[in-house]
Chains A and B, each alone.
Chain A
């Protein structure tokens, strides 16, 4: 098959995502008082309501409504003041009532967007001719390095209930076909689920991956879910179709399932785009179907073909009155939305002058952000950029560091008392202990010599024996200083401060 880059040079991929998020941090299910827990024995968190016993009635979980309203606010959605639940009918034992309670044409949250930042290599996936956002309005402006920001519109976020877990025993690959028996665990049945549907504004697999990643950060920050892809707390389906470069209208789409990691999401879309291009270029047409991503074989296979669309016989659930959300309710939810990663990133850049890349990384995860900010309080403002560098590049690999330990290392590094490599060593040494980095540095004699006179002697010695390099320098090759710094470091047995060596070398060479 052709490479993605080649395909995207000719074809425009139109991608939309449907992302289900289970509100795992709530205590009870959507319409009954059963506990939400994945780890309990099967069918222990069940009651007449979630088992669909005759006569049982749903009662909505108010906290779940708060969660979805918060999700809507955090994704720039309009919060619909009046919406209702609908019944979606299909006969399958994973839905005890044989209908799913979900929302109709009006969802709790609609018409939102997330601004997607695409940088680095990922930006290259989007062909340069593709320079308008999915809404057809905003031109995409690229920075010098090719990175760009594109708004991805969100059609809606609606509330629904999850289905039971089915385990098919005795068949191949756990599928129902050929299974000897099917086991049902209703613990998950009726768990609160929010489904976010994007507009088909995504154009590359990388954008889809980034959107999912960014949404995950937002929902993590809100604390409405554990947001685990592996455990299926967040599940993503991708819809993708191709159209000729510059064409209007949409091609026939396929729906991709089993995208349970960011990598699968990217790779499955990339595969599917290339597959569709091949089909179209052979003069055939794409069939509307649902396809299953097989990560082990790195391909998608047909799950089912949709010839006619299913008729779910939607109608408003007569057991549940329409929701009229008051201003007070919405404002209360708004007040509960914490600072989101983008805002946090901007604040880090503005307040401490962090570099964008580091600010993004620190702001992404609420736990890391809170550790960073707590530690930043322990150091002078001028040290915070060094702290950010330490956090992003060194702390990530450590298990159990305290804020004072990280603060101390950042300070030592900022004062040029230790090198970056030494900072890494020190952190490894104090990790999981209550040792003081300052003491370790002194004990082990790691503190770098910053005595200008002592270092100056080394510099003089090195310059004396590296005549060639000195000549090169004067010939205009400024890069040769790096080599000379290395020589100085070696001569000092690693204890000299490289920055200082650099300064002194340049000084001497320019004299």
Chain B
């Protein structure tokens, strides 16, 4: 088997390495070459880690030479969102605050990918501290959508989606607090999964909204995402994350099971909402039909409190962000503005200069919302809304296996096209309630827009800990599309040849 690395699935790479068709080192060099040839335009990476990659690949090759059984992702190039700690790399969160912060330890999710034999090729750009849906709030540079470089890749895991869509890596990890994996996956035409809260350990992933954050994989195939989820959950519960659960199972095992007799809910009112692009509406109706064509029963469900989810989300997420980002004061690590007479002054100047505008906006919002005068009216009210939305979903999931809905109201927009933060917040309407409840969700590319020619993603949401069943339905959607394994056309096959 030879050809451009970006044509291979995760399993094909691992099998090829195991069979000796090519070495892990060759795969790593191919991925690094693809990054070198493509990333000047895409700018998905914050840093590449050639040394770490070649060392990890060398270990895989040595293990094979010694006749050992290789782990399931042996030799598969992977890159991590830059809010994930990996010893030997900086973890910047795309913020000036952490521009020179060297990881003091390795995140559990990263370690589990490495334990599965994956080869770390770099760290990926993001919105600063994951606040955003464009990746434009990175303190260092924007990332461009591989399908149209003038457009945003989405965010906050925009680097992760763009690196996968441009074929630089086979799989990437992102984090999703309100849609930050699924939305960029949709905008870049790849698969992105937010597992159920607790499935993947958050230890070592710089926290944004602790009750909302979940790590998940992005890939060009549902299968690639499932393979990564296997690695992320192998080993069971992480004793470093009190909220993590033992979810180890083979997520690949049932991907191609028949979906006949399964039930999927749709919410017709959502498709009539203002702001939903016509081509997205069309794509969603097609997706319904494709599922129905495979024997899935499509029924209407209602999530009556969904409209309140944005307000609740921006209260809860801002409060948690304020608290989680308090530790960045420039005392022990991170950006420090020196030369001040008092500690209070040093802290406030370091934070004023270390954080970007959106990071400051969210923290100030959180600081206000948690103040004793506002707490009951906002934080407590938001938690009540959370309870109501959870009850909505519970009722819906008593009837259906999953809910089908758009991921983003529009395909990718141009850099700078939406500058009003509130307008950006509203675009999160389809993804946010999933985080509020802690359910699992996945975005699958279903087609290219009939007008824009840009990828459009459909989202499936499932009940908590039904991640495997959700993957089976996602695979059914993918099977009926022609988007499986697609690399953005401008980059497919450019560099990254496996000799």
Interface residues, chain A, CB within 8 Å of chain B?
Answer: 48, 51-60, 87, 89, 91, 93, 96-99, 182, 311, 313-315, 317-321
- The docked-state distance in angstroms from the alpha carbon of A425 to that of B282 is 104
Among A51, A91, A311, A313, find the residue whose CB has the most chain B CB atoms closer than 10 A. Answer: A313
Instruction: Please provide the 9 A-B residue pairs with the shortest distance between their CB atoms, ordered closest to farther.
Output: A98-B326, A318-B211, A318-B210, A313-B370, A54-B206, A55-B204, A52-B327, A55-B206, A97-B327
Chain B 363-386, CB within 8 Å of chain A: the 1/0 string? 000010011100100010000000
In the assembled complex, the CB of B317 is this many whole angstroms from the nearest CB of chain A, namely 10
Establish whether residues B101 and A54, one from each chain, have CB atoms under 8 Å apart when the complex forms: yes
Contact residues in A for B204 (Cβ distance below 8 Å): 48, 55-56
Choose among B93, B243, B331, B347 the residue that contacts A319 (Cβ–Cβ < 8 A).
B243
A315 to B321 alpha-carbon distance, docked (Å) = 12
Pair A55/B327 contact, Cβ less than 8 Å: no
Partner of B319, one of A58, A60, A315: A315
The answer, among B107, B319, B333, B370, for a CB contact under 8 Å with A55, is: B107
Closest to B328 in A: A54
Contact A55 B242 (CB under 8 A): no
B348 to chain A, nearest CB (A): 9
Chosen A-B contacts, 9 in total, with CB atoms closer than 8 Å, are A51-B104, A52-B332, A54-B98, A89-B326, A93-B343, A313-B323, A318-B211, A319-B210, A320-B242
Q: Give the residues in chain B near A55, CB-CB below 8 Å.
A: 83-85, 91, 107, 202-207
Other contacts beyond A89-B370, A93-B332: 18, CB < 8 A = A52-B327, A53-B333, A54-B83, A54-B206, A55-B83, A55-B202, A55-B207, A56-B203, A57-B241, A59-B240, A60-B242, A93-B331, A98-B327, A99-B326, A311-B372, A313-B370, A314-B370, A315-B370
Please tell me if the beta carbons of A91 and B210 are within 8 angstroms of each other in the complex.
no
Using known A-B contacts A57-B240, A59-B239, determine if residue A313 contacts B371 with beta carbons closer than 8 Å: yes
- Say yes or no: is B320 at the interface (Cβ < 8 Å to chain A): yes
Please state if B332 and A315 are interface contacts (CB–CB under 8 Å).
no
Instruction: Report Cα–Cα, A315/B105, bound state, in Å.
Output: 28
Q: Given A55-B203, A98-B329, are A315 and B323 also a contact pair (CB < 8 Å)?
A: yes
- Within the complex, the shortest CB–CB distance from A307 to chain B, in Å, comes to 16
In the complex the two chains form, what is the Cα distance from A55 to B370 in whole Å? 22
Across-interface contacts of A57 in B (CB, < 8 A):
202-203, 207, 240-242
Q: How far is the CA of A386 from the CA of B107 in the complex (A)?
A: 66
Place the interface of chain B in its size category. Answer: 35 or more
Report the minimum CB–CB distance from A54 to chain B (whole Å).
4
Cβ A311 vs Cβ B347 within 8 A:
no
Using a CB–CB cutoff of 8 Å, the interface residues on chain B facing chain A are 83-85, 91, 93, 98, 101, 104-105, 107, 202-207, 209-211, 239-243, 319-320, 322-323, 326-329, 331-333, 343-344, 347, 367, 370-372, 375, 379
Most buried by A among B210, B327, B331, B372: B327
**Hey, which chain B residues are within 8 Å of A314, CB to CB?**
370, 375
A93, B334: Cα distance in complex, Å: 14
Return the chain B residue nearest A317 by Cβ.
Answer: B210
| Bound Cα distance A314, B333 (Å) | 25
Q: Min CB distance, A423 to chain B, in Å?
A: 59
- In the assembled complex, the Cα of A93 lies from the Cα of B367 at a distance in Å of 19
Q: Which of A48, A58, A89, A91 has a CB less than 8 Å from the CB of B323?
A: A89
Question: Which of A51, A60, A91, A319 is B326 in contact with, Cβ under 8 Å?
Answer: A91
Q: Which residues of B contact A53 (CB under 8 A)?
A: 85, 104-105, 333
A87 near B323: Cβ-Cβ < 8 Å: yes
Min CB distance A315 to B, Å, is 6
Given A313-B370, A315-B319, A319-B210, A96–B240 Cβ distance below 8 Å? no
Give the shortest distance, in Å, between B85 (CB) and chain A (any CB). Answer: 5
* Residues from chain B with Cβ under 8 Å of A99 in the complex: 323, 326
CB distance from A180 to the nearest CB of B (A): 12
A321 to B241, CA, bound (A): 11
Residues of A within 8 A of B105 (CB): 48, 53, 56
B91/A54 in contact, CB under 8 A: yes
B93 engages A54 (CB within 8 Å): yes
- Closest A residue by C-beta to B319: A315
Question: Given the complex of chains A and B, what is the CA–CA distance between A89 and B321 in angstroms?
Answer: 13
Query: Given the complex, which residues of B lie within 8 Å of A318, measured CB to CB?
Result: 209-211, 320
C-alpha spacing A265/B101, complex, angstroms: 46
In the complex, the chain A residue whose C-beta lies closest to that of B98 is A54
Nearest opposing residue in chain A for B83, CB measure: A55
Q: Which of A54, A57, A318 has the most CB of B within 10 A?
A: A54
Contact A51-B332, Cβ < 8 Å, known A91-B344, A97-B326, A319-B210: yes
Q: Is the CB of A48 within 8 A of B104?
A: yes
- Complexed CA–CA distance, A343 and B327 (Å): 47
Q: Closest A-chain residue to B322, C-beta based?
A: A313
Interface-centre pick from A52, A96, A182 (highest chain B CB count, 10 A):
A52
Contacts of A91 in B (CB 8 A): 326, 329, 344, 347
Question: B83, B242, B319: which has the most chain A beta carbons within 10 Å?
Answer: B242
Nearest CB of A to B87, in Å? 11
Please give me the residue from chain B that is nearest to A91 by CB atom: B347
Chain B proximity of A470: nearest CB distance (Å): 84
